[in-house]
C-alpha cells in the first residue's frame, strides 16, 4: 500500500466503526485486483452510483474492470456510492471518495466512470463526483480534474446530464474501453497538449463516444429544434458501439465474490445479448439488437470455471429472455451432470412463458429450487398485442403447470400498469391471471403461492412508445387502487407495486432534455440522494426544483408526442430507423402484434443492416412452429442469409 493510500485508510478506518455496514467499504473480495499504478498508465475508477450491495453484482462494471486491468496502459479500481451515514462522516472529516480495492483517493485517478442503469441514480452521480473533489459541472473543470464518463442503458438519452459528464459511451463497452484508454495514454505521454478540449475532441473520433460539451441544443420556446455539433469535425450523429461476436469476450473471467450480503449473490453468466421479440415497451430489447448468442460450450465452461473459482452454489444464466437461448436445455442438462456442479441451483432470471416448458422445468428441478419469475407484462391478450408481448393465457398456464408439476411451490408474475390504451378491464385481468395460476398450483401442492409485482410504465427513448404520454400520477394511483381491491379477492396471491411518485420522476428524467439538468442539481444540493430508495424519494423536492427552474414537468411527462417532433436523443443512434419505431407505434394503437424477427422475414428495423451484423445464434434451428429466419449458426459455422422485406409486417391474430 502506497504512502498516500495508507494515509487515507488511516483517516477512513476509524469512521467505519461508526457506520451501519462497514463491510461495504473494506474491499478484499475474491477476484478483486490491486493494480500497480505507474505514471504513464490511464487510471479508471469504475463507480456504481448506488450502494455496494446493489453495485457489486453489476456485470458491466466487472467486465470493464477486468479488460482495463489486462490492458498494457490501463489500471482500474472500483468504487460505490457511500451510504448516508458514511457520507456525513466523510464530509465532516474531509475524506474524499475512494476506491475499495486500494483505498486510493478518487482524485488520484484520471477517469471516474459510471454505469447508469436507472435514472433515479443521477443525483448520486453528482454526489460521487463532488465527493471525489471534482466540480460537478464540466464547464468548471480544469486540466487536473477527473474526466467523468458514463455508460449503460440510461445513456441513450444523456441530455439531462449533458452539463455534468465529459463523455458518454453508447452501446457495448468491451472494445471501446480499450480505445478510450489508448487515446488517453497517448495524450498523457505527449504531455496533455491542448488541454481537456483536445482529448475530448479526440474521443469523438471513436465510434460510440459522445461528448455533450461539443454540441448545442437549439430551442424555439419549449420546443427543441435540434442538437447540433459546434465544430465541423465532430459527428452530427453518434452511432452506438456493437460487438459482433460475444464469444470473443468471455468475461468476467474472475467474478467478484462479495464479503457481505449483496443483491443477486450468485454467479452470473451472460448467455446472449440482444432480443428480437419486439416488445414495444422494452428499451433494452430495442437498443441491444441484434441477437448475439454465446457459444453453448463457452457457457458451460464459464459456469464450471466460475463455480470452481468463486464457490457459488447458484448460477444465473442472464439475458433479456434466457429461455430463448437456443442451447438452453443442453446447457442446463450438462451442468446438472457435471460433478463439479453438484448441488448447484440454476436460475433463469428472464423467462418468457412461451419458451418455458416441462423439459426445462424437469432439468432445473434436479438442483436446488428457487422461485421462478414470469413476465406476462399485461393482464389481457388485447393489451399484450398492443405491447407486442405475444403470450397467450394458455402459454402462461402451461409454464406455471410445468413449474408446479416439477415441485416448485411459488412463482412471481411481473406486470406493468399505465400502458398505452390500457383499460380497467386490462388492469383487473392481472389478478384474473394470478388467481388462475394459484388454482393450477393447488393441484400440485397446497402451499402454492403467486406474487404479483406491478411497476408503473415509463416510456423510454428508442422504443415505439417514446411518443406516448405517460399516465398521470393520479391515474397511476387510481390503477394501483383497482389492483389493491382485486387483491382482496385473491387468496394465495401476494401483491407488490412500485410507487407512482418514483414513476413520475423517472419519466421526467428518461425523456427530458438539457433543461432538466439544473433540476437534478438542485435536488442533489437539497439533499436528494438515493432516490431509488423509497424512504429517500421526496416528490415535493423534485416538483419544487422544477418550479424553481421554470420547468413544466407535465409537459415533459404527460404529453403525447407528434410524429415529426424532435427528440433530445435524435442526434444519437441505437441503430433503429425512426420510421420503423413510428410504424410500430401505429401498429400498437391498432392492436397488431408482430412475430419474432429472428424466425421471420426482416422488418428492417436497422439494427442488422445498418451495422452489417446478422443475428448470431448458437443453433439456427427455429422453435417449434417457427420459420427459419436470419442468423449465423455457431454450431456449424454456416450463415443463414438475411431476407430483407421492405417494411414487411407479419401480424399475429
Cell triple for 216: 448545442
Q: Stretch 374-402: mean pLDDT, rounded?
A: 93
Long-range contacts of 260-264 (CB under 8 A, 24+ apart): 260/21, 260/23, 260/24, 260/52, 260/53, 261/53, 262/52, 262/53, 262/54, 262/56, 262/57, 263/53, 263/54, 263/57, 264/57, 264/316
Task: Say yes or no to pLDDT of 642 above 50.
Answer: no
- Residue 158 within any structural domain of the chain: yes
DSSP 3-state of 583: helix
Q: Nearest CA to 162 among 518, 505, 472?
A: 518
Beta-strand ranges (E) seen in 15-72 are: 42-48
pLDDT surpassing 70 at residue 645 = no
Identify the CATH number of the domain in which residue 56 sits. 3.40.50.280
Question: Under the phi-then-psi rule, with left for phi > 0, alpha for psi from -120 to 50, and beta for the rest, what region is 279?
Answer: beta
Mean pLDDT throughout 329-342?
Answer: 84
Cis-peptide, bond into residue 252, ω within 30° of zero? yes
Q: Kindly state the average pLDDT of the residues 290-294.
A: 93
Per-residue pLDDT of 156-211, as tens digits, reads 999 999 999 999 999 999 999 999 999 999 999 999 999 999 999 999 999 999 99
Q: Where are the beta strands (DSSP E) in 367-420?
A: 372-377, 410-417
More confident residue, 79 or 642: 79
- The confidence score (pLDDT) of residue 350 equals 63
CA distance 523 to 518: 9
Residue 407 lies in a domain: no
Those residues with Cβ within 8 angstroms of residue 493's Cβ, 6 or more apart along the chain or in another chain? 431, 434, 435, 438, 449, 450, 451, 452, 487
The mean pLDDT of the chain is 90
Strand (E) or helix (H) holding 1: none
- Give the count of domains, the chain: 1
Mean pLDDT of 386-404: 91
Residues 72, 56: Cα–Cα separation, whole Å:
25
pLDDT the model gives residue 626: 40
Cell numbers 399505465: residue: 418
d(CA 21, CA 585): 47
DSSP 162-220: TTT-SEEE-B--TTHHHHHHHHHHHHHHTT-TTHHHHHHHHHTTSTTEE-GGGEEEEEE
Q: Is residue 167 part of a domain?
A: yes
Least confident window among 108-112, 141-145, 644-648: 644-648
Report how far residue 618's alpha carbon sits from residue 299's, in angstroms, rounded to the nearest whole number.
11
Indicate whether 296 belongs to any domain. no
On the question of pLDDT at 321 being above 60, the answer is yes
Q: Which of 276-280, 368-372, 539-543 has the lowest mean pLDDT?
A: 368-372
The pLDDT of residue 157 is 98
Residue with cell 450480503: 261
Strand partners, 126: none
pTM of the entire predicted model: 0.93
Instruction: Reply yes or no on whether the pLDDT at 623 is more than 60.
Output: no
Instruction: Characterize the bridge pairing of strands 572-573 and 238-239.
Output: parallel
The whole domain housing 63 covers 3-239
Flag whether 619 is in a domain: no
pLDDT for the residue numbered 367: 52
Q: In sequence order, what DSSP letters do the residues of 428-460 get, joined into one string?
A: HHHHHHHHHHHHHHHTT-TT-EEEEEEEE----
Query: What kind and span of H or E run contains 318?
Result: strand 314-318
pLDDT at 229 over 90: yes
Helix, strand, coil percentages in the chain from 3-state DSSP, rounded to 5: 40, 15, 45
Query: Is the pLDDT at 644 greater than 60, yes or no?
Result: no
How much is the pLDDT for 513? Answer: 98
Q: Supply the pLDDT for residue 632.
A: 40
Q: How confident is the model at residue 344 (pLDDT cuts 50, 70, 90)?
A: confident
pLDDT of residue 402: 85
What percent of the chain lies above the pLDDT cut of 90? 76
Query: pLDDT band for position 627 (50/70/90)?
Result: very low
Per-residue pLDDT at 486: 96
Which cell goes with 355?
Answer: 419458451
Task: For residue 234, tell me if it sits in a domain.
Answer: yes
At 522-535, the pLDDT tens digits run: 999 999 999 999 99
- The most distant pair of C-alpha atoms in the chain lies apart, rounded to whole Å, by 73
**H or E element, residue 63:** helix 59-70
Say how far apart CA 639 and CA 628 lie, in whole Å.
12
Residue 606 within any structural domain of the chain: no
What is the Cα–Cα distance from 529 to 525, expressed in whole angstroms? 9
Tell me: pLDDT of 622 over 80.
Answer: no
406 pLDDT band, cuts 50/70/90, is confident
**Position 646 pLDDT exceeds 70:** no
With respect to residue 81, please indicate whether it lies within any of the assigned structural domains: yes
Query: CA 288 → CA 14, 170, 277, 557, 602, distances in Å?
Result: 45, 10, 12, 25, 16
What b/e readout covers 17-35, taking b as 16+ CB neighbours within 10 angstroms? eebeeebbbbbebebbbeb
Cβ neighbours of residue 574 closer than 8 Å, sequence gap 6 or more = 156, 170, 171, 240, 286, 287, 461, 462, 607
Span 221-249, mean pLDDT? 97
pLDDT digits (tens, 9 = 90+) for 35-70: 999 988 999 999 999 999 999 999 999 999 999 999
pLDDT of residue 369: 56
CA distances from 232 to 168, 203, 215, 228, 386 (A): 20, 15, 11, 10, 43
Asked which of 13-27, 373-387, 601-615 is least confident by mean pLDDT, the reply is 601-615
Sheet with 631-633, strands from edge to edge, namely: 272-273, 292-293, 616-617, 631-633, 639-640
Please report which helix (H) or strand (E) contains residue 149, including its range: strand 147-151
Amino acid at each position: 500500500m502506497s504512502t498516500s493510500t495508507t494515509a487515507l485508510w488511516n483517516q477512513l478506518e476509524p469512521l467505519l466503526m461508526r457506520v451501519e455496514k462497514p463491510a461495504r467499504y473494506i474491499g478484499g473480495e475474491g477476484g478483486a485486483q490491486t493494480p500497480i499504478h505507474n505514471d504513464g498508465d490511464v487510471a479508471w475508477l469504475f463507480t456504481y452510483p448506488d450502494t455496494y450491495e446493489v453495485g457489486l453484482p453489476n456485470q458491466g462494471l466487472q467486465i470493464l474492470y477486468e479488460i482495463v486491468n489486462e490492458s498494457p496502459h490501463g489500471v482500474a479500481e472500483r468504487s460505490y456510492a457511500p451510504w448516508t451515514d458514511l457520507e456525513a462522516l466523510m464530509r465532516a472529516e474531509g475524506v474524499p471518495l475512494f476506491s475499495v480495492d486500494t483505498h486510493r483517493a478518487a482524485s488520484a485517478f484520471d477517469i471516474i466512470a459510471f454505469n447508469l442503469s436507472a435514472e433515479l441514480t443521477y443525483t448520486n452521480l453528482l454526489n460521487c463526483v463532488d465527493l471525489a473533489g471534482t466540480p460537478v459541472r464540466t464547464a468548471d473543470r480544469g486540466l487536473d480534474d477527473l474526466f467523468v464518463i458514463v455508460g449503460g442503458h440510461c445513456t441513450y438519452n444523456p441530455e439531462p446530464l449533458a452539463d455534468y459528464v465529459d463523455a458518454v459511451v453508447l452501446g457495448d463497452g468491451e472494445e471501446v474501453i480499450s480505445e478510450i484508454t489508448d487515446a488517453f495514454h497517448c495524450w498523457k505521454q505527449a504531455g496533455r497538449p491542448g488541454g481537456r478540449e483536445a482529448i475530448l475532441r479526440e474521443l469523438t473520433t471513436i465510434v460510440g463516444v459522445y461528448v455533450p460539451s461539443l454540441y448545442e441544443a437549439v430551442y424555439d420556446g419549449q420546443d427543441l429544434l435540434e442538437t447540433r455539433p459546434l465544430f465541423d469535425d465532430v459527428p452530427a450523429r453518434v452511432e452506438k458501439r456493437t460487438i459482433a461476436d460475444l464469444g470473443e469476450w468471455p468475461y468476467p473471467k474472475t467474478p467478484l465474490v462479495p464479503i457481505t450480503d449483496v443483491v443477486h449473490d450468485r454467479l452470473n453468466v451472460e448467455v446472449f445479448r440482444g432480443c428480437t421479440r419486439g416488445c414495444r415497451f422494452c428499451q433494452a430489447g430495442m437498443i441491444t439488437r441484434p441477437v448475439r448468442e454465446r457459444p453453448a460450450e463457452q457457457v458451460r465452461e464459464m459456469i464450471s470455471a466460475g463455480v470452481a473459482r468463486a464457490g457459488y452454489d447458484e448460477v444465473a444464466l442472464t439475458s433479456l429472455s434466457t429461455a430463448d437461448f437456443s442451447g438452453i436445455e443442453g446447457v442446463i442438462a450438462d451442468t446438472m451432470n457435471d460433478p463439479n456442479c453438484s448441488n448447484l441451483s440454476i436460475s433463469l432470471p428472464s423467462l418468457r412463458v412461451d419458451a418455458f416448458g416441462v423439459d426445462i422445468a424437469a432439468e432445473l428441478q434436479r438442483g436446488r429450487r428457487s422461485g421462478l419469475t414470469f413476465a406476462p407484462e399485461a393482464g389481457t391478450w388485447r393489451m399484450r398485442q398492443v405491447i407486442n408481448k405475444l403470450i397467450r393465457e394458455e402459454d402462461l398456464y402451461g409454464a406455471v403447470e410445468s413449474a408446479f408439476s416439477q415441485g416448485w411451490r411459488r412463482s412471481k408474475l411481473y406486470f406493468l400498469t399505465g400502458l398505452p390504451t390500457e383499460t380497467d378491464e386490462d388492469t383487473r385481468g392481472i389478478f384474473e391471471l394470478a388467481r388462475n395460476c394459484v388454482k393450477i398450483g393447488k393441484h400440485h401442492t397446497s402451499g402454492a403461492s403467486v406474487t404479483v409485482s406491478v411497476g408503473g410504465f415509463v416510456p423510454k427513448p428508442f422504443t415505439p412508445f417514446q411518443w406516448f404520454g405517460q399516465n398521470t400520477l393520479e391515474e397511476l394511483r387510481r390503477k394501483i387502487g383497482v389492483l389493491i381491491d382485486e387483491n382482496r379477492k385473491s387468496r394465495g396471491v401476494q401483491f407488490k407495486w412500485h410507487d407512482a411518485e418514483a414513476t413520475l420522476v423517472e419519466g421526467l428524467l428518461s425523456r427530458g432534455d438539457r433543461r432538466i439538468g439544473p433540476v437534478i442539481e438542485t435536488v442533489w444540493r437539497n439533499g436528494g440522494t438515493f432516490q431509488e430508495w423509497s424512504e429517500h424519494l421526496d416528490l415535493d423536492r423534485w416538483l419544487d426544483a422544477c418550479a424553481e427552474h421554470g420547468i413544466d414537468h407535465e409537459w415533459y411527462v404527460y404529453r403525447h408526442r407528434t410524429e415529426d417532433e424532435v427528440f433530445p436523443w435524435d442526434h444519437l443512434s441505437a441503430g433503429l430507423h425512426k420510421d420503423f419505431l413510428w410504424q410500430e407505434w401505429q401498429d400498437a394503437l391498432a392492436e397488431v402484434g408482430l412475430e419474432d424477427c429472428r424466425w421471420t422475414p426482416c422488418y428492417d428495423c436497422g439494427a442488422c443492416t445498418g451495422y452489417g451484423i446478422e443475428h448470431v445464434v448458437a443453433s439456427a434451428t427455429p422453435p417449434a412452429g417457427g420459420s427459419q429466419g436470419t442468423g449465423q449458426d455457431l454450431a456449424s459455422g454456416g450463415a443463414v442469409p438475411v431476407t430483407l422485406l421492405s417494411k414487411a409486417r407479419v401480424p399475429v391474430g
